[in-house]
Structures are given as C-alpha cells and as structure tokens.
C-alpha cells in the first residue's frame, strides 16, 4: 500500500481498495445510518471532511508528534474536528443532526479514521494525505449511499423522502403493496454489504483468497 502512486492514493479507496467493502472498516455506522439516503449522505460528507482535515493536520504535525503519545494526539485532533462538525450540524442542519444522533460522535471511533492517520498521514506529506483522506472518505460515502438507496427504496418506498412507490402504486390503482420491513432493520445493510463485497470480489481476481 505504501508504494501506491498519487493517482492510486485517491482513486484506489473509491473502489478496488474501498475501506468499507474491501478493508471492512467502519461497518458500525454503515449499518446504523443507512435506513434513509439523506442521513447517509450527510454522514458520508461529514466523515470525508473530518478524515481529510485530520489527515492534513496529522501530516503537518508528523515531524513534531512525540512517538509515545501519537495515538492520543491523533485522537485529540479527530475528536476536536468531530465535535466541530456536530456543533455545526446542530446549528445549521438540525433535523439531519437529530437523525444522525450519536453516530456523528461515533465518527471518532470509526476505524477508517485511526487507520488512515496511523497508516498514511503519519508517514506522508500533506498533499497526498489530503487525497488519501478524500479518497477514503468518499469511498465510505459511496458505499453508504448505495446501501441507503436500496434500503430506503425497498424499506420505505421513498427516495430522499419522496414517495416513489406509493405514487406509482396510486396511479396504477393497485393497493396491496407492502414495503419490505427487513430493509428498515440493520440486517438488510449487512446483506447488502455482503452482496456488494461478493460482486466486487467476483470482478476483481486480485481480491480473491488464494
């Protein structure tokens, strides 16, 4: 991974080295905030911002951080950024912040963050670190968004809160349609993630276990 060239630093995590479906990090929030698309999108953006900033800050500080407390320093930087994001959401995106509830705070414990800071930002210059942060954040956001799209469509019959199925059903005059309840439950996120991993691995021989 350390030998990756610059383009790979950004594009790699988007798909072939995706933090969620390949490295299987950050699963907790992927299950929790994907019942609807809007919170999933905001969560993805929030994590991308936090990760990009944290990566740059840690990268700038990398030559000054005392080795013995480096994890604590990373944690402080991440926690400060997360609190900032949470405060801003509460002030300017109140309803979304309510839907995300504790999960914004839990960005702190998201494995992707500590993983990238420890594995990449501590040993690389700010620019590649920024790209790495953006790439991993967006990689996470894409998966969340895909899962949330399926869950919201089949679980609630809506997309971004807009009643898609009900509208279609009303026009066709058929009134026996029921939403699929399991898509509202976290189980479905796990199944969907499993399907994505399955698809990804079948397309990418490199990822298959020998």
Partner 1 sequence: MNRNSNVYTVIYATVLTVLVAIMLTVAALGLAPQQKANSDNEKKQQILSSISSVLGKDVTFENAADIWSELDMDNNMCVVNTKGEELKGIDAFEIVAKQQFKAGVVKDEATLPLFKAIVNGKTYYIMALYGAGLWDAVWGYLSVESDCSTIAGASFDHASETAGLGAKIKDDPSFAASFIGKHVFQGENFAPVQVLKQGKSAANGADQVDAITGATKTSDCVSIIINNSLTGYKAYLLALRNTPCESAQAAECAACDSTQIVEPVNKAE
Applying CB under 8 A, which residues contact partner 1? 35, 64-69, 72-73, 76-77, 80, 83-84, 87-88, 90-92, 94-95, 98, 181, 184-185
Q: In the beta sheet, which residues pair with residue 159?
A: 162
CA–CA distance from 158 to each of 4, 12, 38, 119 (Å)? Answer: 40, 32, 11, 39
User: Which residue, 64 or 208, is less far from partner 1 as judged by CB?
Assistant: 64
User: Which residue, 11 or 99, is less far from partner 1 as judged by CB?
Assistant: 99
At residue 163, φ and ψ (nearest 5 deg) are -70, 100
Minimum CB separation from partner 1 for residue 90, in Å?
Answer: 5
Minimum CB separation from partner 1 for residue 156, in Å?
Answer: 9
Maximal C-alpha separation, the chain: 68
CA distance 138 to 133: 8
Minimum CB separation from partner 1 for residue 118, in Å?
Answer: 17
User: Which residue, 41 or 65, is less far from partner 1 as judged by CB?
Assistant: 65
User: Which residue, 123 or 181, is less far from partner 1 as judged by CB?
Assistant: 181
- 73-80 LR contacts (CB < 8 Å, sep 24+): 74/114, 74/117, 74/118, 75/108, 75/114, 77/117, 78/50, 78/54, 78/107, 78/108, 78/113, 78/114, 78/117, 79/108
Minimum CB separation from partner 1 for residue 88, in Å?
Answer: 7
User: Which residue, 94 or 208, is less far from partner 1 as judged by CB?
Assistant: 94
């Amino acid at each position: 991974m350390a030998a990756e060239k610059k383009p790979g630093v950004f594009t790699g995590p988007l798909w072939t080295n995706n933090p969620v479906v390949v490295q299987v990090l950050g699963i907790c929030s992927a299950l929790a905030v994907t019942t609807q698309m809007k919170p999933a999108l905001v969560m993805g953006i929030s994590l991308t911002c936090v990760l990009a900033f944290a990566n740059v800050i840690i990268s700038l500080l990398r030559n000054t951080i005392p080795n013995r407390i480096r994890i604590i320093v990373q944690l402080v930087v991440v926690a400060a950024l997360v609190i900032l994001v949470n405060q801003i959401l509460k002030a300017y995106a109140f309803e979304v912040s309510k839907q995300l509830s504790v999960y914004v705070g839990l960005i702190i414990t998201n494995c992707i963050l500590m993983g990238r800071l420890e594995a990449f930002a501590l040993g690389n210059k700010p620019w590649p670190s920024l790209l790495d942060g953006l790439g991993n954040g967006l990689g996470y956001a894409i998966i969340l968004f895909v899962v949330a799209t399926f869950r919201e469509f089949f679980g609630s019959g809506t997309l971004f809160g807009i009643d898609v199925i009900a509208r279609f059903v009303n026009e066709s005059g058929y009134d026996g349609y029921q939403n699929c309840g399991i898509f509202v439950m976290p189980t479905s996120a796990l199944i969907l993630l499993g399907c994505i991993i399955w698809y990804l691995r079948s397309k990418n021989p490199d990822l298959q276990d020998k």
